[in-house]
Each structure stands twice: as structure tokens, then as C-alpha cells.
């Protein structure tokens, strides 16, 4: 069964790649626009090895993007959880922030980028700020939804047993909303990743996967463009498999909330 699940998807992928390879090799499509997959891989390998003793261009690009994503996601998560808890606990904060978040959330990060370029200049400050904003909204939204769904009896019980307000926040509200929170984290971090890549297109100074793809497309280096997209898939896949799974195991599964 597992073999079937792995092998079946390989059929369309392999035949697509093979057809592409042959079409490009034998001139059925323009190899300048659609370089054969093997050429794309070679180009990626070349980017990795060309300046190797000092550094790998490829890994530097990946590291630059990941660093931005991690910083932005960390700040955005902290702000988002704090904001969400506040919105969940206080009706007034909720009334104030909920419409504003609803309005601002759908505005794409890349559209905010020009504004922050004026304010903060090209490079990391702009990219990370827009990334923080992108992370903040879904996490705040979901955390507040989670907190608001709490059974008030639990809060009362905790209060009767003498728990302080901060204690109630960390030991009652937070675990209760863990399911919502986790959904928010996934949304927020995925969004952070997409936004950082997108903003790198317009605001990066020299490094980053988004910058690499955009720069390559300006010089019509198609191999690098396709290779960059392949890298985006791989990096995202690895992050999802490692980070998300780990977080899930730490929190929700341990608290036995996976089925709610």
C-alpha cells in the first residue's frame, strides 16, 4: 500500500520530466525557455560548487531566506500569540482589532513592500517587517478564536483554586486553545515563508531564494529560475516535515488534544 502511494505519483512526474527532457533535447520546445531538467540540476550543482572553498552560492541564498523567515516568524509569533490572547480575554480589544485584522489580512505582503522600502530601505529590515506582519495576522486571529471558545467553567474553577491571572493565562487559556493556536502557527508560518520569498523579489539587496529567482529571470537564466522553484519546494517540504511535525508532537499530541 505504501509502495503504491509512493510509486503512483512518480508515474506522472517521471513521464512529465522525461517528455520535457526529450522535447528540449530534440528541439520540440525552445531549450532557452525550457531547459531540460538535467541542465537545471547541473546549473544548481554549478551554483553550489563554483566558489566552493569560500562559500556555496546556493546555500548562502537558502540560508539568507531561512534566516529572514525564522526571525520574522519568531517575532510575528510572539506578537500574534500576545495579541490573540489579549483579543480573546478582552472584549474591547477584540472589538477594536478584529475588523482591522479582517481588513488588513488579505492585503498581500508584496503590495506592502514599497511602503516599507520608503520607510526602511532595501534589504532585511523591510523583508523581515513585512514577514512579521504576515505571520502576525493568522496567529492572532486563531489564538483569539481559540481563547474565546474556552469553557468559562474551567476559568472559574482555576480561579477558585487560587490561580493568579497570568497563571490562568498560561495554564488554562493557552493549553485550551492549543488546537486553534497550532492551526494558526501553520497558517502564519506558511504565510511568512511565502511573503518573505515574494518580498525578496522586490526588496532584497543581494541574497535570498526570491532574489536569486528574480535576478536570474532578469537575465533570462531560465535554469536558475526553474531550479529556484525546485528549491522552494524542497525547502518547504523539509520545513513542513521537520518543524511542523515536531511542534505538533510537543504540544497538541502531548496534551491529548489531537482529536478535538
Partner 1 sequence: MRLGAPKTLAQTWKSRALAFGQFVLPFLFVGGLWELLVQTHVVTLASVPAPSSILVRMWEMATGEGILWRHLGRSMYRLGIGYALATGAGLILGTTLAMSRILREMLSPVLSLLISVPTIAWVPVFLITMGLGDRTVITAVFLGGFFAITYNTIRGIEMVDRNRVRAARTMGASGLSLFFSVLLPGSAVSILTGLRLGIGYSWRALVGGEMLSAMISWGIGKMIYQARFWNDVTAMFVGLMVIGVTGLLLDRLLIKQIERTTVERWGMLAER
Binding site for partner 1 (CB under 8 A): 4-5, 8-9, 11-13, 33-34, 95-100, 102-104, 106-108, 110-112, 114-115, 117-119, 193-194, 197-198, 201-202, 210, 213-214, 216-217, 220, 222, 225-226, 228-229, 232-233, 236-237, 240
- Contact (CB, 8 A) for 223 and 40: yes
Alpha helices in 27-123 (DSSP H): 37-49, 57-89, 91-104, 109-120
Q: Supply the minimum distance, in Å, between the C-beta of residue 164 and partner 1.
A: 31
**Residue 122, φ and ψ in degrees, nearest 5:** -75, 155
Give 173 or 222: the residue with its C-beta nearer to partner 1. 222
Give 6 or 160: the residue with its C-beta nearer to partner 1. 6
What's the length of the chain? 260
Q: Supply the minimum distance, in Å, between the C-beta of residue 5 and partner 1.
A: 7
Q: Supply the minimum distance, in Å, between the C-beta of residue 137 and partner 1.
A: 12
Q: Supply the minimum distance, in Å, between the C-beta of residue 100 and partner 1.
A: 5
CA dist 47 and 206 (Å) reads 15
Give 19 or 157: the residue with its C-beta nearer to partner 1. 19
Q: Supply the minimum distance, in Å, between the C-beta of residue 210 and partner 1.
A: 7
The candidate with the shortest Cα–Cα distance to 126, out of 139, 114, 138, is 114
Give 178 or 197: the residue with its C-beta nearer to partner 1. 197
- Contact (CB, 8 A) for 130 and 199: yes
- Contact (CB, 8 A) for 109 and 199: yes
CA dist 178 and 85 (Å) reads 12
Amino acid at each position: 500500500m505504501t509502495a503504491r502511494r509512493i510509486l503512483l505519483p512518480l508515474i506522472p512526474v517521471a513521464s512529465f520530466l522525461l517528455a520535457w527532457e526529450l522535447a528540449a533535447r530534440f528541439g520540440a520546445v525552445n531549450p532557452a525557455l525550457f531547459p531540460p531538467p538535467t541542465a537545471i540540476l547541473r546549473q544548481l550543482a554549478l551554483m553550489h560548487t563554483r566558489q566552493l572553498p569560500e562559500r556555496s552560492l546556493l546555500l548562502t541564498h537558502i540560508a539568507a531566506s531561512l534566516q529572514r523567515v525564522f526571525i520574522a516568524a519568531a517575532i510575528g509569533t510572539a506578537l500574534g500569540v500576545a495579541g490573540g490572547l489579549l483579543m480573546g480575554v478582552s472584549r474591547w480589544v477584540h472589538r477594536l482589532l478584529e475588523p482591522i485584522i479582517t481588513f488588513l489580512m488579505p492585503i498581500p505582503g508584496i503590495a506592502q513592500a514599497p511602503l516599507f522600502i520608503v520607510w526602511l530601505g532595501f534589504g532585511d529590515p523591510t523583508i523581515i517587517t513585512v514577514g512579521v506582519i504576515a505571520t502576525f495576522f493568522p496567529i492572532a486571529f486563531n489564538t483569539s478564536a481559540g481563547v474565546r471558545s474556552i469553557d468559562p467553567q474551567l476559568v472559574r474553577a482555576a480561579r477558585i483554586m487560587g490561580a493568579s491571572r497570568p497563571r490562568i493565562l498560561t495554564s488554562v487559556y493557552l493549553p485550551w486553545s492549543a488546537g486553534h493556536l497550532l492551526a494558526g502557527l501553520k497558517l502564519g508560518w506558511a504565510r511568512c515563508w511565502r511573503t518573505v520569498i515574494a518580498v525578496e523579489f522586490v526588496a532584497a539587496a543581494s541574497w535570498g531564494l526570491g532574489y536569486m529567482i528574480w535576478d536570474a529571470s532578469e537575465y533570462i537564466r531560465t535554469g536558475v529560475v526553474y531550479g529556484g522553484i525546485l528549491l522552494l519546494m524542497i525547502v518547504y517540504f523539509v520545513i513542513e516535515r521537520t518543524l511542523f511535525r515536531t511542534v505538533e508532537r510537543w504540544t497538541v499530541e502531548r496534551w491529548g488534544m489531537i482529536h478535538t
